[in-house]
Amino acid sequence: MMQTGKETKKDLKKALRKEIKALRAAHTDEQIHELSLGVRDQVLTLPEYREAEVIYAYVDCKHEVETSDIIRAAWADGKRVAVPKVLGQDMKFFYITSLENDLEEGYFGIREPFEKHAADETGDEEKALMLMPGVAFDEERHRIGYGGGFYDRYLSKHTRHFTTALAFEFQVFPEVPFEAHDILPQMIVTETRMIRPEGK
In this model, does residue 2 exceed pLDDT 80? no
pLDDT digits (tens, 9 = 90+) for 137-177: 999 999 999 888 899 999 998 888 999 999 999 999 999 99
pLDDT of 191: 98
Residue 53 lies in a domain: yes
Higher pLDDT, 170 or 2: 170
The fraction of the chain above a pLDDT of 70, given in percent, is: 92
Residue 131 lies in a domain: yes
pLDDT mean over 173-188: 91
Helix (H) or strand (E) holding 74: helix 68-76
Write down the pTM of the prediction.
0.91
Q: How many CB atoms lie within 10 A of CB 193?
A: 11
Under 8 Å between Cβ of 98 and 33: no
In this model, does residue 80 exceed pLDDT 70? yes
In this model, does residue 107 exceed pLDDT 90? no
pLDDT of 123: 63
Domain count of the fold of the chain? 1
Residue 200 lies in a domain: no
Identify the domain containing residue 161 by its residue range.
6-195
- pLDDT band at residue 6, thresholds of 50, 70 and 90? low
Helix 29-44 to helix 68-76 angle, to the nearest 10 degrees? 40
In this model, does residue 1 exceed pLDDT 50? no
Instruction: Choose the weakest-confidence range: 21-30, 83-92, 107-116.
Output: 107-116
On average, the pLDDT of the chain sits at 91
pLDDT mean over 113-124: 78
Q: From CA 9, how far away is CA 77, in angstroms rounded?
A: 42
Domain CATH number, residue 20: 3.40.50.10420
The fraction of the chain above a pLDDT of 90, given in percent, is: 74
Residue 1 lies in a domain: no
Under 8 Å between Cβ of 190 and 168: yes
pLDDT digits (tens, 9 = 90+) for 45-57: 999 999 999 999 9
Task: Look at phi and psi of residue 157 and say left if phi exceeds 0, alpha if psi is from -120 to 50, else beta.
Answer: alpha
